[in-house]
Structure 1
Amino acid sequence: MSANNKFTFKELLKSEKIRIEPEEVGIIWHNKENLQGAIKDNKRPEVIDLDTYTAHQPKENHPTNKYRRETLKRKYLAVFIKEENEKARFYKFFDNDCESQTDAVLEHHRILSLSHNKTLEFYENKLIVEWGGSRQNDWAKLADEKELPISALLERPRGEFVFEGFENVKLSWYDLGKVLQLPEWQTALSNQKAVYLQTDKLTNKHYVGSATGGDSLLGRWKSYVENGHGGNKGLRSLDFDYIKENFEYSILEVFPGKIDDNKIIAREQWWKKILQSTEEEFGYNKN
């Protein structure tokens, strides 16, 4: 046990069920699950998933600290994602063959040969640890030198998109694109009439829209995934990358399929008035 009497990730590795020596494990911490910004900075627009991003690392002779070099030499790599309050969520466990190929885009980087090791699959996206500081240079650790007390084991993997009712929908642009590919969400949103809300988290401005007739909520939201603005005048002036990084999607009201569309339009106007979304200071609606 750690000093605060919490079971640790190090002890989990050594447990009867797992039996992996911490000395064989390097630990990597990603600052955010959505890596689009970092990818853009690194001139790698084609890299969009955490597995590939994890494999993309500095060359051995790259000027870096001890932990980065030693971590990437370990037989296994345990990958975590930043959570709030100096915590981190266990993402995935990899076999590290300690072999790599030259990165064709960045001269000072290489691509590690990693493969998913399912020994810790039960804990993926459910195990929460106390990481401590979240400095930029604190992304690599050695499992035998860092305790990482376990603070929670979630019942359901975080990031698993289960539809839990229209009132609980709150999605980033990236997550919206993911759920629209899932059968459960497609069923819930297809043929569904609604008034929905888009929130710019940076400015707190709103855009209120409606899905009526044959243009279901599924259809409307697909258009936002495709181009960001969905044909709406007030959103066309925004850069698509800005929308991807800052917009959040939720549902204000849903309606039975037989209701007159004019009633939905009336409710849409009511929400625009309440949220003042037609005023430039508060929203993006143009009418």
Structure 2
Amino acid sequence: MPDLDLKKSKLHLAGFNQVEEPIDQFIAGTFDTWQSYQNAKNFSRQYLISLIQLPGTKRWLFAGVYDQLVPKARPAGKKTKWEYSYRHISGFEELEGRLILEYSRTGRQSYVYADKVLPEMRVHSLRAKRLTVGDFPGFKAVDISHGTLKVVVKEQIDSWKSALRSVAGVYLISDREHRMLYVGSATGDGGIWSRWETYARGGHGGNVRLKALEKEKGSIFTNGFYFSILEIADKHTGEKQMLQLEDEWKRRLLTRDAGLNGN
């Protein structure tokens, strides 16, 4: 793209914002919407080049190039002050989700002039395929955002479905926006998979306190939700026994008194 002059461009170095990992937004296909909400007029040049930090590393995944950047003030009381409309420029699809750059940024600086910073970056690698949801990582390593869970369920990713269907268990929902926890359990032939499908499709899963969050915040109430597994069991374990395990975890994590469990 000949007109993509670095002196006309800004970089968005998108990293963890204490609630959400932008890499989860990218995998879920919602990064462009997530990025559009800003607390200041951060996109002040003609072009925006977006890079997403790979958690725990100094590596950055290329997400795309944007122009026609127009900020609009949001109503008072909203979480962010500005919402940008913009165009995601085509022609970079072969690099989006594949190109990885290496860069050690200063502090938490997220909006920088491209001509000042890009010369300091180095190409780390080019992935064979666009970054998507990986294979099931093992029960102890599961920690996925609600957005990624929706992708897993929508695409019926076999490694996830097979593993989660094979066990009953006690699971944890971490509401990282409100710093609160919810403990639940799953039994029956569908195992954890069947229970998590309800969260992917409806969000609250029928829980009273999660329903209240939805009523208060609308469809964005799950933005800070992450799903993990506390304990697994044979999926033919009786419901009474699983509820006892669930109760024990609620007691340990105080999710009735200081969390999202209503019973």
Report the TM-score range of the alignment, normalised by the length of the smaller protein: 0.5 to 0.7
Q: For residue 102 of structure 2, what is the aligned residue in structure 1?
A: 128
Q: How does 1:105-184 map to 2 (within 5 A)?
A: 111=87, 113-118=89-94, 120=95, 123-124=98-99, 126-132=100-106, 135=109, 138-142=111-115, 146-150=118-122, 160-180=133-153, 181=155, 182-184=157-159
Q: For residue 259 of structure 1, what is the aligned residue in structure 2?
A: 237
Aligned partners of 2:149 and 2:200 also within 8 Å: yes
1:29 to 4, 12, 29: 12
Q: CA deviation at 1:166?
A: 0.7
Q: For residue 225 of structure 1, what is the aligned residue in structure 2?
A: 200
Aligned partners of 1:189 and 1:218 also within 8 Å: yes
- After superposition, the CA RMSD in angstroms is 4.3
- Amino acid in the other structure paired with 1:258: H
1:200 paired to 2:175:
yes
Aligned partners of 1:194 and 1:253 also within 8 Å: yes
Sort the Cα spacing of 1:212 and 1:254 in 2 relative to 1 into closer, same or farther, 3 A: same
Q: CA deviation at 1:183?
A: 2.1
- Amino acid in the other structure paired with 1:81: I
Q: CA deviation at 1:237?
A: 0.9
Sort the Cα spacing of 1:33 and 1:113 in 2 relative to 1 into closer, same or farther, 3 A: farther
For 1:209 and 1:264, locate their aligned partners in 2 and report how far apart those are by CA, in whole Å.
10
Where structure 1 has 5 or more consecutive residues not aligned to the other structure, the ranges are: 1-19, 38-47, 57-63, 103-107
Q: CA deviation at 1:264?
A: 1.6
Number of corresponding residues: 229
Q: Deviations over 1:127-165 (max 9, x none)?
A: 3323446556x355138x732334966999876423110
Sort the Cα spacing of 1:204 and 1:154 in 2 relative to 1 into closer, same or farther, 3 A: farther
Q: For residue 262 of structure 2, what is the aligned residue in structure 1?
A: 286
The sequence identity of aligned pairs, in percent, is: 25
Sort the Cα spacing of 1:212 and 1:258 in 2 relative to 1 into closer, same or farther, 3 A: closer
For 1:283 and 1:85, locate their aligned partners in 2 and report how far apart those are by CA, in whole Å.
28
What is the TM-score of this pair, normalised by structure 2? 0.66
Aligned partners of 2:174 and 2:180 also within 8 Å: yes
SS in 2 for 1:193: strand
What is the TM-score of this pair, normalised by structure 1? 0.61
1:90 paired to 2:61:
yes
SS in 1 for 2:172: strand
